[in-house]
A = this chain, B = another copy of it.
C-alpha cells in the first residue's frame, strides 16, 4: 500500500475553475502490491496531459455538452504516460513497459481491463523525451495532423490562420503548414507567446489577439484573404476569420476555447455566418477519435513527426508543471491561457 497524490474534481466551477476549490490534490491509498486485475495492470504515472477540452468534463449533468462529466470527488482522468509495475494475466504487458493511454492524474494507478484498451506501448526508436508522447506525438499532435490534411487540404502557396497558435495543436499545425509551403499566421494571447511563435515555431506572422482588432490585423497581414482557418477558440476570432476567408475557404473546427467557460446561451454570437453561402466555405468539426481521422493518419503521423522532431525540423514547445502538488494550478492555468506550449504535468518532479 502506498499513498498516491491524486488530482480530484472537488466542486463544479462557475466560469474558470479555481485551484484548491474546484480541483484539488488528495493523498489516496493505492495497493500497488495487490494482484492486478486480469487484462489490466498496476502502473506508476510518469507524465499527464492537461488539455482544454477537460473544461467540458468539469461540469454537472445539467451542464454537460460534448463529453461526459467527471464524477464529483473522483480523480480527473486524461492522457498519461505510465510505466508498468505489475501486469495482470492476459494483459500482454511486462514490468517496465512504457505505455500511453487514458488514466488518472496521480502518482500511481490501477488500470482495469476496460481502461487498459486505451493504452498502447510507446514506440520510440529515436529515444525522444517521453513527455512528447502527450503532445506532438500524442493526441494533440494527431489532432493537428489529421484535420490539417483531412479537412484543410492544404495547397502550396496558400495562407493559413491558426488561433491558439502556440498551443498543443496550433504549434504543430503551423509547423506542418510551413513544411507544406504555406504562409502561416498565428494568434496568441500574450507578447511572450508572440515572440516564441515567430522565433522558435517559425510562423511567418502573428499577433496578440488581446492587443489588436483581429479583423484589421488579418486584413493587414493577408490583404487578399486567407485560405484556411484552423479554429481552436471560436467566438470573435472565428467571426473575423470568416470575414477574412477567400472563396472556397476551409474552416477546421477543432475547438472553441474562448467560450468553454461561458454558459451556452451567453456564448459569442457570430453575425456573419451568411458568408458561408456566398464564399462557398467548407466548415467541418471533428474529433481525433472519429473514423477517418486518428485511425487514418496515426501511422504516418507517428513515423513523420518522430523523424521531424529528431532531425529538428519540428520543434516542440512544452509547458511543464512540476510535481503533483502543483497539478491544480497547472490545469487551471491552462484555462486562463497562462501556459506557453503544450501543457503537461511531470508527476514526480521535485520543485526546481
Q: Which residues of A contact B (CB under 8 A)?
A: 56, 65-67, 234, 238, 253-256, 259, 264-287, 290
A277 touching B264 in the complex, CB below 8 Å, given contacts A270-B269, A271-B269, A282-B284: no
Contacting pair B276 A271 (CB below 8 A):
no
Contacting pair B66 A273 (CB below 8 A):
no
A280 touching B274 in the complex, CB below 8 Å, given contacts A268-B269, A269-B268, A269-B269: no
A277 touching B256 in the complex, CB below 8 Å, given contacts A267-B272, A269-B268, A284-B283: yes
Task: Give the residue of B272, B273, B290 whose beta carbon is less than 8 angstroms from that of A280.
Answer: B290
Task: For the complex, give the distance between the alpha carbons of A267 and B272 in Å.
Answer: 7
Contacting pair B290 A285 (CB below 8 A):
no
Q: Shortest beta-carbon distance, A244 to chain B, in Å?
A: 14
Contacting pair A256 B283 (CB below 8 A):
no
Task: For the complex, give the distance between the alpha carbons of A277 and B280 in Å.
Answer: 19
Q: Shortest beta-carbon distance, A296 to chain B, in Å?
A: 14
Contacting pair A277 B255 (CB below 8 A):
yes
B residues in contact with A286, CB < 8 Å:
277, 280
Task: For the complex, give the distance between the alpha carbons of A274 and B253 in Å.
Answer: 8
B residues in contact with A267, CB < 8 Å:
271-272, 274
Q: Shortest beta-carbon distance, A147 to chain B, in Å?
A: 11
Task: Give the residue of B66, B270, B271 whose beta carbon is less than 8 angstroms from that of A278.
Answer: B66
Task: For the complex, give the distance between the alpha carbons of A256 and B278 in Å.
Answer: 10
Contacting pair A278 B65 (CB below 8 A):
yes
Max chain B Cβ within 10 angstroms of own Cβ: one of A65, A273, A278, A286: A273
Contacting pair A259 B285 (CB below 8 A):
no
B residues in contact with A234, CB < 8 Å:
273-274, 277
Task: For the complex, give the distance between the alpha carbons of A264 and B278 in Å.
Answer: 13
8 more CB-based (< 8 A) A-B contacts, given A268-B271, A280-B285: A253-B273, A264-B271, A264-B272, A267-B271, A270-B271, A270-B273, A281-B284, A281-B285
Task: For the complex, give the distance between the alpha carbons of A273 and B236 in Å.
Answer: 11
B residues in contact with A254, CB < 8 Å:
277
Which 5 pairs, one residue from A and one from B, show the smallest C-beta to C-beta distance?
A269-B269, A66-B278, A256-B274, A276-B285, A283-B283
Task: For the complex, give the distance between the alpha carbons of A65 and B268 in Å.
Answer: 23
Task: For the complex, give the distance between the alpha carbons of A294 and B234 in Å.
Answer: 33
User: Can you give 22 contacting A-B residue pairs, CB < 8 Å?
Assistant: A66-B279, A234-B274, A253-B273, A253-B276, A254-B277, A255-B277, A256-B273, A256-B274, A256-B277, A265-B271, A267-B272, A268-B271, A269-B270, A275-B285, A276-B285, A277-B285, A278-B287, A280-B287, A280-B290, A282-B285, A283-B283, A283-B284
Task: For the complex, give the distance between the alpha carbons of A269 and B270 in Å.
Answer: 5
Task: For the complex, give the distance between the alpha carbons of A229 and B302 in Å.
Answer: 37
Max chain B Cβ within 10 angstroms of own Cβ: one of A253, A269, A272: A253
Q: Shortest beta-carbon distance, A229 to chain B, in Å?
A: 12
Q: Shortest beta-carbon distance, A97 to chain B, in Å?
A: 33
B residues in contact with A275, CB < 8 Å:
65, 285
Q: Shortest beta-carbon distance, A334 to chain B, in Å?
A: 18
B residues in contact with A280, CB < 8 Å:
284-287, 290
Task: For the complex, give the distance between the alpha carbons of A301 and B153 in Å.
Answer: 29
Task: For the complex, give the distance between the alpha carbons of A238 and B274 in Å.
Answer: 10
Q: Shortest beta-carbon distance, A247 to chain B, in Å?
A: 9
Task: For the complex, give the distance between the alpha carbons of A259 and B274 in Å.
Answer: 8
